[in-house]
Amino acid sequence: MSDHKKAGEKFSELLELMAELRGENGCPWDREQTHQTLKSFLLEETHELLDALAGNDPANIAEELSDLLHQIVFHCQIGAENGTFTANQVISNLVAKLIRRHPHVFDRDALPDADAVTKQWAQIKAQENPGGTANSALGSLPKSMPALARAQTISERAARVGFDWPKIDPVWQKVEEELSELKAACASGDPQRTGEELGDVFFSLVNLARFLGVQAEEVASQTTDKFIERFNYLEDQLRQAEKSPNQSSLEEMDRLWDEAKALERRGRLRR
Q: Render pLDDT for 227-258 as a digit per residue (tens, 0 to 9).
A: 999 999 999 999 999 999 999 999 999 999 99
* Domain 3-99 of CATH type 1.10.287.1080: yes
Please report the pLDDT score of residue 133 as a whole number: 39
- Give the mean model confidence (pLDDT) for residues 83-88: 96
For 16-55, b/e burial (b = at least 16 CB within 10 A) is eebeebbeeeeeeeeeebeeeeeeeebeebeeebeebeee
* pLDDT digit string, tens, across residues 113-136: 887 887 777 777 777 765 443 567
Q: Which of 119, 161, 148 is nearest to 207 (CA)?
A: 148
Q: Looking at the predicted structure, is the pLDDT value of residue 267 above 80?
A: yes
| Rounded Cα gap, residues 105 and 261, in angstroms | 50
Whether the predicted pLDDT of 143 surpasses 90:
no
| Predicted pLDDT of residue 1 | 66
* 164-222 per-position pLDDT tens digit: 999 999 999 999 999 999 999 999 999 999 999 999 999 999 999 999 999 999 899 99
Long-range contacts of 32-38 (CB under 8 A, 24+ apart): 33/74, 33/78, 34/78, 35/75, 35/78, 38/71, 38/74, 38/75, 38/78
Give pLDDT, residue 111. Answer: 81
pTM over 0.75: no
pLDDT in tens, 41-66: 998 999 899 889 988 999 999 999 99
Question: For 112-141, b where at least 16 C-beta lie within 10 A, e where not — what string?
Answer: eeeeeeebbebeebbeeeeeeeeeebbeee
Using DSSP's 3-state secondary structure scheme, residue 253 falls into helix
Rounded CA gap, 65 and 72, in Å? Answer: 11
What's the chain's length in residues?
Answer: 271
Give me the half-sphere count of Cα atoms (radius 13 Å) on the Cβ side of residue 143.
0
- Does 22 score more than 50 pLDDT? yes
CA distances from 102 to 95, 97, 108, 131 (A): 11, 9, 9, 21
In this structure, how many other beta carbons lie within 10 angstroms of the beta carbon of residue 73?
18
Q: Does residue 150 surpass a pLDDT of 90?
A: yes
Provide the 8-state DSSP code for 25: T
Task: Examine the pLDDT at 260 and tell me if it is beyond 60.
Answer: yes
Between CA 113 and CA 194 the distance in angstroms is 43
Architecture (CATH level 2) of domain 147-214: Orthogonal Bundle (1.10)
Mean pLDDT of 11-36: 95
